[in-house]
Chains A and B, each alone.
Chain A
């Protein structure tokens, strides 16, 4: 699984890092999000899916290719 954050869409709601703290990092300055790693380890995939689901801006993209 791979994950991206669309930086044009992300408005720094911070829900992704609340739900999947190991997979998303937030800018100190404005809270905008970026993935810690593009490739999501198997044991974090559920969290990352839930983060994508919960993003108010629908800014998180995931593909299931490994």
Chain B
């Protein structure tokens, strides 16, 4: 490196900001750090995790997330340019498989996404609404007579898990085998004494995923697994590892994120009884905007890593090929340039073009699932447990918010009510039968009708 290069390099990275996104301090000081970065360096260089850029401003995030010189690729076997995908630092657990379409660039990304879309589009998800509402109903049944519930363990961990398995074509009764390791892997640090148990559960789940794939290859049945098995790329089936990567993405993306959104929203509504009453009384007009506002404010998936695939200049910043970048959806969501009073939850916020599902070609493929499942759980709780009160001493937030801004527990009490219909186990058996009989997991291109629950 010449002296000139060295000077220009330090000049390029002159807007430095030192912070550790995975530390507990980042969680407790998120507002202050965000305000400081917006004011001083909406595009900053940070030395943590081997050094990388951080896009914190809404404009910077908007431009970079849609920039053709920015790559999502995770090149595990160093066959292309050795890029490291969307995790910073690279997670040690995911060394064998890349993260599905989220760690691919076009045109490869588009080929797989085209397979997933007709299972997850707004019209496709709408068909599942009666099914989703029935799982929610059954979960609340389990707790409604005793007057106490943990909204994470007893509701928000279950509904997204059961639905995701149904869409994949994996038996619903296995929901716990999938839900627990995914949830626990996010909140258990690698140095935790519990990590062995979590890793063992993860292994069991991974094995079941492989077995499900092999089983469905032998005996096809409707669902995303089958869609990925049937797809052809230049006449050839997709490689098993890429199928598994995409299954992992659907599972990982579908579970803990919606759980996090639901728990945080229910907690906030308990702490703001006037707003809860307002929402309860105006669900028909407020449910949609309130959902978007909770998404903006709580941003369950706070950001994604990328790699510059070319030397490029944007707004006077010079980026070099190979440099890593963190795109902070969470910080962009608090940018006062786009969102007035960004730290306030405004249930009927206007112009709420939030970044919580990402933007650009990698917009969360499960966004319609997330919204629908969240709305089902929220409305059912407001309807059947209208006076619920969450317990601040029992609520457990994730220690750090580097991967998911989630919650481990959210206990609540409420005036007991009556059961409606069957309990969870019986309901899961019934829903499995309905799933099979009505072939609910077919893509919307092959089945348009909504589920009919008997």
Contacts and interface: CB of A to CB of B under 8 A. Distances in A.
Interface of A: 11-15, 17-19, 26-31, 50, 53-58
Interface of B: 62, 66, 114, 117-118, 121-124, 288, 292, 350-355, 357, 359-361, 363, 367-368, 444-445, 448
B353 A50 contact: no
A58 B288 CA distance: 19
A12 B363 contact: yes
B350 A27 contact: no
Contacts, number: 67
B282 to A, nearest CB: 16
30 contacts: A11-B359, A11-B361, A11-B363, A12-B121, A12-B363, A13-B367, A15-B352, A26-B121, A28-B118, A28-B122, A28-B444, A29-B118, A29-B121, A29-B444, A30-B117, A30-B121, A31-B121, A31-B368, A50-B350, A50-B351, A53-B353, A54-B350, A54-B351, A54-B353, A56-B354, A56-B357, A56-B359, A57-B66, A57-B359, A57-B360
Nearest to B350: A50
A9 to B, nearest CB: 8
A59 to B, nearest CB: 10
A20 to B, nearest CB: 12
Nearest to A12: B363
Determine the main DSSP class of B at the interface with A. loop
A54 B352 contact: yes
Given A13-B357, A29-B118, A18 B363 contact: no
Contacts of A27: 121
A49 to B, nearest CB: 10
B64 to A, nearest CB: 14
A15 B292 CA distance: 9
Given A56-B353, A56-B355, A26 B123 contact: yes
B357 to A, nearest CB: 7
A56 B11 CA distance: 32
Most buried by A among B66, B118, B363, B444: B363
Given A11-B359, A13-B357, A53 B350 contact: yes
Most buried by B among A13, A14, A19: A13
A58 to B, nearest CB: 7
Contacts of B114: 30
Contacts of A56: 353-355, 357, 359, 363
A54 B343 CA distance: 18
Contacts of B361: 11
A14 B353 contact: no
Select the residue from A12, A18, A30, A58 with max chain B CB neighbours within 10 A: A30
